[in-house]
């Protein structure tokens, strides 16, 4: 079975600084990869996804993620963080395109300092 690890429980950055959130997965083949964001009091929203092709994918809100097969990683990045980016971020993987097989990581809480 696949698994997802987000090694950073909590990250604090200053507004305007760059951001990288780490995600590692364990799966025999290349799974389908996702990043979701959960703003306070809200449900999860899809930021971006990777299925195949170009290993650098662009998402909403200025986020991007890079798939690195050799490292089994799918790290999320943003060049300049805004205060509104403060939220919890979840990496998720699925071995196929079936939504019921989606496995979520434990999440990384992002705090943005003014």
Partner 1 sequence: NAGVTQTPKFQVLKTGQSMTLQCAQDMNHNSMYWYRQDPGMGLRLIYYSASEGTTDKGEVPNGYNVSRLNKREFSLRLESAAPSQTSVYFCASSEVGSIITGELFFGEGSRLTVL
Indicate the pairing of strand 64-68 with strand 73-78: antiparallel
Q: Is 35 in the site for partner 1 (CB under 8 A)?
A: no
In the range 54-83, which residues lie near partner 1 by CB under 8 A?
Answer: none
* Contact between 68 and 55 (Cβ < 8 Å): yes
- Angle (nearest 5°) at CA 58 between 55 and 77: 85
Which helix H or strand E contains 46, and what residues bound it? strand 44-50
- Is residue 28 a contact residue for partner 1 (CB under 8 A)? no
Identified binder of partner 1 from the candidate list 65, 94, 110, 112, rule CB under 8 A = 94
Q: Which is nearer to partner 1, 108 or 112 (CB)?
A: 108
Query: Which residues are near partner 1 by CB under 8 A?
Result: 4, 9, 32, 34, 41-46, 49, 51, 90, 92, 94, 97-100, 102-107
């Amino acid at each position: 079975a696949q698994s997802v690890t987000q090694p950073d429980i909590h990250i604090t950055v200053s507004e305007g600084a760059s951001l990288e959130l780490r995600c590692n997965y364990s799966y025999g083949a290349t799974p389908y990869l996702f990043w979701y964001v959960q703003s306070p009091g809200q449900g999860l929203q899809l930021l971006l996804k990777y299925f195949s092709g170009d290993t650098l994918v662009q998402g909403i809100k200025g986020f991007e993620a890079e798939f690195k097969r050799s490292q089994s990683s799918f790290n999320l990045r943003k060049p300049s963080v805004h205060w509104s980016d403060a939220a919890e971020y979840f990496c998720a993987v699925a071995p196929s395109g079936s939504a019921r097989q989606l496995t979520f990581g434990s999440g990384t809480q992002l705090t943005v300092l003014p």
